[in-house]
Amino acid sequence: MKTQSKTSKTQKVTTKKPVPVKKSEIIDGYTIKYHANGKTRWSKGKIVNGQTEGYWEWYRPDGTLKRSGYFDKGEPVGEWTTYDEKGNVYKVTRKKAGNTTNNNEGINEKEKRWIQ
């Protein structure tokens, strides 16, 4: 009698974790977005014709200021400041539209994606 061996191959199924929708509201012309907890501010700034404009701020989940800077028609420009957890200036980056002038990264892609 001939025996057959069955080999079971298991496939690893990976599913992408859904990106949580951030709560947001517009107050006096400022778009305010909140962290996933829905209570702590994540960012605050103006959106004009669908693009970020003027002064923006980003906050940590504990509410402390993380970064601030300016936009011109959706492009980061001017002075961008990153703050440490105690609120002290950690670094300053000067940007022109499409160009960082001191090799610091300025605004990161995750932040840019969320404000659009």
pLDDT tens-place string over residues 14-65: 777 777 677 999 999 999 999 998 899 999 999 999 999 999 999 999 999 9
Residue 85 has pLDDT above 80, yes or no: yes
Interatomic CA distance for residues 82 and 95, integer angstroms = 13
What's the residue count for the chain? 116
Q: How confident is the model at residue 71 (pLDDT cuts 50, 70, 90)?
A: very high
pLDDT mean across residues, the chain:
80
Is the four-CA dihedral 26, 31, 32, 38 of positive or negative sign? positive
CA-only gyration radius of the chain, Å = 21
Task: Give the pTM.
Answer: 0.67
Domain ranges of the chain: 24-115
3-state secondary structure the chain: CCCCCCCCCCCCCCCCCCCCCCCEEEECCEEEEECCCCCCEEEEEEEECCEEEEEEEEECCCCCEEEEEEEECCEEEEEEEEECCCCCEEEEEEEECCEECCCCCCCCHHHHHHHC
